[in-house]
Amino acid sequence: MFGIYLRRELSRRKKAALVVAMGLALGIALVITVDSVSAGMTQAQGKVLKSLYGLGTDMTVTKARSAPKAGGSQGPNFRFDARSSGEASQSSDRVMTQGGQALKSSLVGKVAAQKGVAAAVGALSLNVTKVDGSFTQGKATSSAGTQQRGGPGGGDGGGRPQVQGGGANFDVDSYSVAGVDVTHQTLGPLATVKITSGRTFTAAQTNAKAAVVSASYAKQKKYKAGSTFEISGTTYTVIGIATPDSGESTTDVYLPLKQAQSLGDAKDKVTTIYVKATDSQQISAVKKTIQGNVSGTTVTTSADLASTVSGSLSTASDLASSVGKWLSIAVLAAAFLVAALLTSSAVSRRVREFGTLKALGWPSRRVTRQVVGESMVNGLIGGGLGIALGLAAAYAVTAVSPTLTAQLGGTGGTGGPGGGPGGPGRQTAGNTLEIALSAPVSATTIALAVGLAVAGGLVAGAMGGWRASRMRPADALRSVS
């Protein structure tokens, strides 16, 4: 009997059933879209923060730079020898540490010994500025017999010598260098890259004049495995080309830590200590332990950095988490209300039918079950349509892949080698990254959609069933014209 009435009702009231189903479908589709876009933005933000540290890194330990002393050097300076030749080519490299004040290498072991720390690895961040070019001497000329005003006595002073031509033409190239512990490459700067050409360092190359360069820098300089280049007079051989797991890295050159320390005049120094906790649920406790036992350092976790991410990624995330979710709730509430009102209205038009059924012996609970069952079918149809619309919208967002920017603010000298994140997307300027947004739909989201469809059917059925249960057989007789 239930199936007979169900088929008849859906066929007789197609428009009403379609309106109820479409209302629920739109609300469910909006929920799926907002949830999937929010998941995509969370995923993008997570990739940015993960790539800043390295795979498996839970926190970094750094030390903020102290203010420069009065009269001290405020920036890079270059010195060139004076030469008599007219066009002498000259070159100079300026190597400076960056990413925070240098720490003693012994602190790496101290951090590793703290409770809750599984591993700790030190790295040194350098910036190399190369100035390469030449000076050209000018030629002194004199124009004899020309009137020279303002000379001694106001008379003709003859031709004064003038310098013509000459000058300087220099190119400036700046790139980042990361000194890595080649014996622990699974934690730290090299953890987020894979070698696509050549090879990485071996454990024996702790002080080798070898280098791994990023794919983008290798393309710019036309390097390949076997190429050589110089830094401050030391020749290095490229042994591998590194491609980040996602996007581009701000680190251009990777060197063994000892070589980087030698270049930066930072013997037994590091700028960043990468830390992996034994339990990811105890990161806050480990942070407090390190801060309490290793004085003068700044411990930064991904949670700390999340608040520094700004730009359109942060704006869109805020909109999705606030406006988007509230809009979804409002649309769902409206869809539930419309479904309930339409179901109640349909019950009102079936007074004769339900009154007659009660006169034939149907109890109120059976009438209520019939109405709720019909509403549940409408809800499931609406849920199916909503899931289809939501998946289509999520697929469209992923296909279009709108570009969002993420800017990472300063955190007291923290950051990956090179002074900034090597995160997904394309580096534009400083710590600004461009991320292609995707909208992944999880099984949890689909389950949520099904639950909402069932809930919508139950809400509508409950109101309609309540009204149907209050009908009496006498109502059917009064409705007969």
Q: Is residue 56 within 8 Å of 245, Cβ to Cβ?
A: no
Taking each helix axis from N to C end, the angle separating 325-348 and 364-400, rounded to the nearest 10 degrees, works out to 150
In our burial notation (b when 16+ CB lie closer than 10 A, e otherwise), range 53-90 reads bbebbbbbbbbeeeeeeeeeeeeeeeeeeeeeeeeeeb
Share of the chain above pLDDT 90, in %: 22
Same domain, 122 and 191: yes
Lowest mean pLDDT among 2-11, 140-149, 290-299: 140-149
Of the residues 263, 296, 329, the one at which a domain ends: 296
- Is residue 283 within 8 A of residue 59, CB to CB? The reply is yes
Per DSSP, the residues of 197-255 read: EE----TT-TT-SEEEEEHHHHHHHT--TT-EEEETTEEEEEEEEEEESSS--S--EEE
When pLDDT is averaged across residues 27-48 and rounded to a whole number, the result is 79
| CA gap 290, 275 in Å, rounded | 10
Kindly report the number of other CB atoms within 10 A of residue 120's CB atom: 24
Say yes or no: 278 and 325 in one domain: no
Q: Are residues 113 and 260 in the same domain?
A: yes
Of the three residues 266, 296, 326, the one that is the final residue of a domain is 296
Query: pLDDT: is 267 or 438 the higher one?
Result: 267
Residue bearing the bigger pLDDT, 362 or 322: 362
Number of structural domains found in the chain: 2
Q: What pLDDT score does 412 carry?
A: 41
> Minimum mean pLDDT among 2-6, 254-258, 287-291, 394-398: which range?
2-6
pLDDT at 176: 92
How many whole angstroms separate alpha carbon 398 and alpha carbon 37?
A: 9
Residue type, 263: L
- pLDDT per residue as tens digits for the range 356-394: 777 777 777 777 777 888 788 888 888 889 899 989 988
Sign of CA dihedral 289, 292, 297, 299: positive
Do residues 416 and 239 lie in contact, with contact meaning Cβ atoms separated by under 8 Å?
A: no
pLDDT tens digits, residue range 45-86? 666 665 554 445 778 888 887 655 555 555 556 666 655 555
* 239 inside domain: yes
147 within domain boundaries: no
Question: Of 296, 330, 347, which residue is a domain's last?
Answer: 296
Same domain, residue pair 292 and 387: no
Percent of residues, the chain, with pLDDT higher than 70:
69
- Measured in residues, the chain has a length of 481
Whether the CB-CB separation of 26 and 338 falls below 8 Å is answered with: no
pLDDT tens digit sequence for 303-319: 676 666 655 556 666 66
3-state secondary structure of 95: strand
Which position has the token pair 């239930």?
2
In this predicted model, what pLDDT tens digit does every residue of 133-181 receive, in sequence order?
Answer: 776 766 767 655 444 444 454 445 555 667 666 666 777 888 999 999 9
Q: Which residue has the higher pLDDT, 176 or 301?
A: 176
Task: Give the C-alpha distances (Å, rounded to integers) separating 147 from 141, 152, 153, 156, 159.
Answer: 16, 13, 13, 6, 8
Strands 234-244 and 210-214: parallel
d(CA 464, CA 460): 6
Q: Are residues 262 and 381 in the same domain?
A: no
Q: Is residue 149 part of a domain?
A: no
pTM over 0.75: no
**Tokens of residue 217, six digits:** 């820098």
Whether 197 and 289 share a structural domain: yes
Asked, for residue 143, whether it belongs to a domain, the answer is no
Q: Domain check: are 326 and 273 in the same one?
A: no
Residues 242 and 339 grouped into a single domain:
no
Return the higher-pLDDT residue of 290 and 281.
Answer: 290
Query: Cα separation of 93 and 73, whole Å?
Result: 16
For 360, the domain range is: 2-52+312-478
Q: Are residues 248 and 277 in the same domain?
A: yes
Q: Are residues 406 and 259 in the same domain?
A: no
With a cut of 70, say whether residue 280 has pLDDT above it: yes
Is residue 209 domain-resident? yes
Element containing residue 176 per DSSP (H, E): strand 167-180
Residue 190 lies in a domain: yes
- Sign for the CA dihedral angle at 401, 309, 184, 242 comes to positive
What pLDDT is stored for residue 47 in this prediction?
A: 65
pLDDT at 415: 42
Average pLDDT, the chain: 76
Measure the CA–CA gap between 211 and 226, rounded to whole angstroms.
Answer: 10
Q: Do 34 and 99 fall into the same domain? A: no
123 neighbors 181 (Cβ within 8 angstroms): yes
Whether 31 and 104 map to the same domain: the answer is no
CB–CB of 408/421 below 8 Å?
Answer: yes
pLDDT band at residue 414 using 50, 70 and 90 as cut-offs: very low
Contact 187, 119 (CB under 8 A): yes
Q: What is the mean pLDDT of the segment spanning 224-233? A: 92
Q: Which two tokens stand for residue 214?
A: 């990023």
323 — phi, psi (to 5°)? -65, -45
Q: For residue range 419-464, list pLDDT tens digits in order.
A: 333 333 333 334 566 777 788 888 888 888 888 888 888 888 787 7
